[in-house]
Structure 1
Amino acid sequence: MTPSKKLHIGMSLAPTWLSGDAWRRPDSGVEGLYGSDFYLDIAQRAERAKLDFAFLPDSLFLNTDLLASGTGFASLDPTLLLASIARETSKIGLLSTASTTFFPPYIVARQIQSLNWLSNGRAGWNIVTALDGNGNFGLTEMPSPEDRYARAAEFTEVVRRLWASFPQDALKLDKAGGRFANPDGVKAVDHQGAFFSVKGPLNLPRYDKAPIPLVQAGASAAGRAFASSVADAIFASTPDMAAAIDLRSDLRSRAEAQGRQGDDIRVLPGLSLYLAPTQAEAQELFAETNARMSRQRAFATVLEMTGLDLSDWPADSNVTASDLPPPPEKVRSRTHSQLLRRMIERDEPTLEDLLRRPEVIGSAHWLVVGTPADAVAAIKDWAAGGAIDGFVAFPGGSVESVQLFLEQVVPALSDLGLFRKDYRGTTFFDHLNDR
């Protein structure tokens, strides 16, 4: 069965193709990691492929334990980088990330609306509550997920009210009459809430050509409740089709319970792609990329997420549901923890199999290791199964993975009628509503 609606596809600019040992490849381009040209090339290729958006996640901390063998979450500021890309692109959406836990809403409202003006309506906001970084912002520990999402809900309301506080039609620019704007059309927000006090109005008019899409990544109960109330799209970790179907069904039901349409919320899982011309080459690429993955680090991930210590576990013994202790009271990511426990309960993998699963060695994303044709078949299968409205591509292992995805996988999806042949609008909102 071929879905009647076309998929929405985003391209992550986070350099996952440099993950593991991939940055050591001669053609990795890692030397340009902290310059704009490195990312501009990918964004322009993604625009030529007619993708909905380019996406840059963000972390506001540096993991120095990982810095010897990789980036350790070091990165350019996403909004500044996307602003530089805006001048060199014309159609692709530009999805920036900003934290509701660490930033004030006035700053975020201004930054995202500025990007919207600079890109002629192509900005989007990826709303995150953050998992770490509290020590950089005067917090002794991270707030609970419930507190983070309560703050995020109020934060988002304030940002949207700030965007509305200075409508574009208040600008008159009447040179002959000497009237720049109509101040009566600009209104303070006068917000007083549990977390924020914001007077407003925003000192930047709204770009009225199209709304700014909101994207959210939380898949915990608190995250789903928040996302279903405000998000146009959900970026999710779904390592298998059943997880994606469950998430999509739940989010659509939650959206409808809040007076929205199910189609108002688009589920876009992360898709980790290790692509090569042959299956054997793809498997070799994946193995090489993860060759130095420390077993101790994998054990630490399982312990932190599930409370299960596997350091002395026999290599050929299965890990079963009965082996799992009660969930730890505090974990870095509830979503990741739940996905890992779910996989163990369902599959009862051997230790060696468990340590190779994406829930352990990655971010629990949907994983395809194979040829472009393998990727197309998997995407077609998930789309036909009602598991996705699209996906965010995270090519891994090599620059070739990026190129094979954009130059072979996406055109093949277009030929199947699963993706657009050309843009039909000019804004990010247009792309998300191109069905």
Structure 2
Amino acid sequence: MKGRQLHIGLCLTETWLQGREPNDAERSEQQRDPTGFYIRLAQAAERAKLDFVFKPDVLAMRRGKSGTAPSFVGLDLTVLLAAIATATHRIGLVTTASTTFNPPYVVARQIQTLHWVSNGRAAWNIVTSIEGAENFGDAPMPPAPERYRKAAEFTDLVRSLWQSYPHAALDNKAQPAALNHRGEFFSVKGPLNVPGHASGPPPLFQAGASEIGRDFAASVADATFASTPDMGAALDLRNDLRIRAQKHGRTDAPRVLPGLYFFLAKTREEAVAMHRRAHAHLTKEQRLDAVKTILGLDLSHLKPNARVTADLLQFDDRTVRSRTHADLLRRHIQNNEPLLEDLLARPEVVGSAHWVSVGTVEDVAADIVKWFEAGAIDGFIALPGGSLESLRLFLEELVPLLVRQGLFRQDYDGETLRAHLRLGSQA
């Protein structure tokens, strides 16, 4: 048994296009053949022996912060991953499905089907969604406490549906069983009409880092896609999830896998310039608007060298779009009372609150090792920034460097995602 090693996934979203328009070649490849484009990305990640590929999903049209037309083609993610499954052999496939807008039976059936199509490589990223209500009726977006109550019932129901038709039933050693579930939000008779896979149920991922999101993740998730803009936030989250998991009666805790938004180049100067270009389109006014959206806080009256102090904060969650980002930025202000110009450059403001690392392959690798050895992370989700060269350097140079340091696998030693994540089969 090897010592503790990193878990690494690749986000399939075109994060390298942040802040710029795709060129003609990029637009052609991504928009005219999106399926082939994502298959090739997944195959490159598999050649690097990554644990999984992952993609967030939204049920609404989105525009980038630059206001440009979207380059992303919003294919149904579970269907797309089924196509990727037929073109890959080992890499895990993490789909995203909302508990706010989907029926539990359909999600349970789709993901269990993907699990069979991929031979045990599927996982579910559980999201409650923060937008898209207008596409499902006239009712507004439910408040966060209601969304998470619904998510808890939804998740328990999906797991029960997976268990209702056990793999053993294929050998007549067990029988499918009706659920007859009646809860606050759902009524489902069951059983599911897709049997369980021999590898066990699909692992569960969850992305919330707000208070309510943390508690939900601690109760059900095998891993969390955390937003941790600095190592202190990652350490706090990982320790907090362990405590919460114990309170939920668990003997383990979710693996903490923050997004790592990296800008890789042959020299530090090139990497820094690339990072600067990726956010150059954001004016001061847009950054101030972002703070207002995240915190409900208007800082337009402050001078650049003024400090943003804790007494300026307000705690009305009705004014914020994402409680996760609000909690992260609020905590940073309380702990550091930064200058306004520094606050407006924070990842939570110019990006998605992800960990950012800029430099050469050796620089970013050292950053990863520092966080890992400090016990802040169990791994990360790769978010290449600036250009496709960042992605190439990551897969072809940075990952092999981590392999040589003994921090990542040289080859797959299992065939399923549960094996990659070192989870029990739970069959």
- TM-score bracket relative to the smaller structure: over 0.9
Matched, 1:384 2:373: yes
8 Å CA contact 2:295–2:319 kept in 1: the answer is: no
Q: Secondary structure at the match of 1:407?
A: helix
* TM-score for the superposition, normalised by structure 1: 0.92
How far does the alpha carbon of each residue in 1:349-401 deviate from its partner, in whole angstroms, 9 at most, with x for none? 33322222101011100000111111100010001111001111111111011
Count of aligned pairs: 422
Partner of 2:179: 189
Counterparts in 2 of 1:66-215, with a 5 A limit? 68-71=67-70, 75-171=74-170, 185-215=175-205
Counterpart code for 2:181 = H
Partner of 1:5: 4
Matched, 1:228 2:229: no
Q: Secondary structure at the match of 2:319?
A: coil
Partner of 1:354: 343
Q: Secondary structure at the match of 1:87?
A: helix
- Displacement of 1:203 in angstroms is 1.8
Shifted more, 42-51 versus 299-308: the winner is 299-308
Counterparts in 2 of 1:33-52, with a 5 A limit? 33=31, 35-52=34-51
Shifted more, 271-280 versus 347-356: the winner is 347-356
**Separation of aligned partners in 2, 1:88 and 1:218:** 31
Partner of 1:408: 397
How far does the alpha carbon of each residue in 1:226-270 deviate from its partner, in whole angstroms, 9 at most, with x for none? 1111110011000000110010001011112222123x4211111
8 Å CA contact 2:204–2:223 kept in 1: the answer is: yes
- Displacement of 1:295 in angstroms is 2.9
Counterpart code for 2:202 = I
Partner of 1:291: 280
**Separation of aligned partners in 2, 1:72 and 1:331:** 27
**Separation of aligned partners in 2, 1:326 and 1:232:** 31
Shifted more, 39-48 versus 29-38: the winner is 29-38
Partner of 1:243: 233
Which residue of 293, 298, 305 maps to 1:304?
293
Q: 1:139 to 1:426 in 2, by over 3 A?
A: farther
Counterpart code for 2:333 = I
**Separation of aligned partners in 2, 1:64 and 1:388:** 31
- Displacement of 1:29 in angstroms is 5.0
RMSD, matched Cα: 2.1
Counterpart code for 1:272 = Y
Q: 1:162 to 1:247 in 2, by over 3 A?
A: same
Q: 1:183 to 1:428 in 2, by over 3 A?
A: closer
Matched, 1:393 2:382: yes
Which residue of 243, 256, 263 maps to 2:246?
256
**Separation of aligned partners in 1, 2:72 and 2:30:** 16
Partner of 1:270: 259
Q: Secondary structure at the match of 2:338?
A: coil
**Separation of aligned partners in 1, 2:286 and 2:71:** 14
Q: 1:183 to 1:135 in 2, by over 3 A?
A: farther
8 Å CA contact 2:309–2:333 kept in 1: the answer is: yes
Q: Secondary structure at the match of 1:171?
A: helix
Counterpart code for 1:24 = P
How far does the alpha carbon of each residue in 1:300-340 deviate from its partner, in whole angstroms, 9 at most, with x for none? 11112223212343223332223334445331111101111
Counterpart code for 2:278 = T
8 Å CA contact 1:13–1:55 kept in 2: the answer is: yes
Partner of 2:30: 32
- Displacement of 1:15 in angstroms is 1.2
Task: Report percent identity of matched pairs.
Answer: 53
Matched, 1:313 2:302: yes
Shifted more, 218-227 versus 272-281: the winner is 218-227
* TM-score for the superposition, normalised by structure 2: 0.93
Q: 1:259 to 1:30 in 2, by over 3 A?
A: farther
- Displacement of 1:64 in angstroms is 5.0
Partner of 1:372: 361
**Separation of aligned partners in 2, 1:417 and 1:408:** 15
- Displacement of 1:26 in angstroms is 6.2
8 Å CA contact 1:49–1:406 kept in 2: the answer is: yes
Shifted more, 128-137 versus 206-215: the winner is 206-215
User: Gaps (5+ residues) in structure 2?
Assistant: none
- Displacement of 1:192 in angstroms is 0.8
How far does the alpha carbon of each residue in 1:269-289 deviate from its partner, in whole angstroms, 9 at most, with x for none? 111111111111011111112
Counterparts in 2 of 1:336-351, with a 5 A limit? 336-351=325-340
User: Gaps (5+ residues) in structure 1?
Assistant: 173-181
**Separation of aligned partners in 2, 1:195 and 1:368:** 42
- Displacement of 1:139 in angstroms is 4.8
**Separation of aligned partners in 2, 1:220 and 1:91:** 33
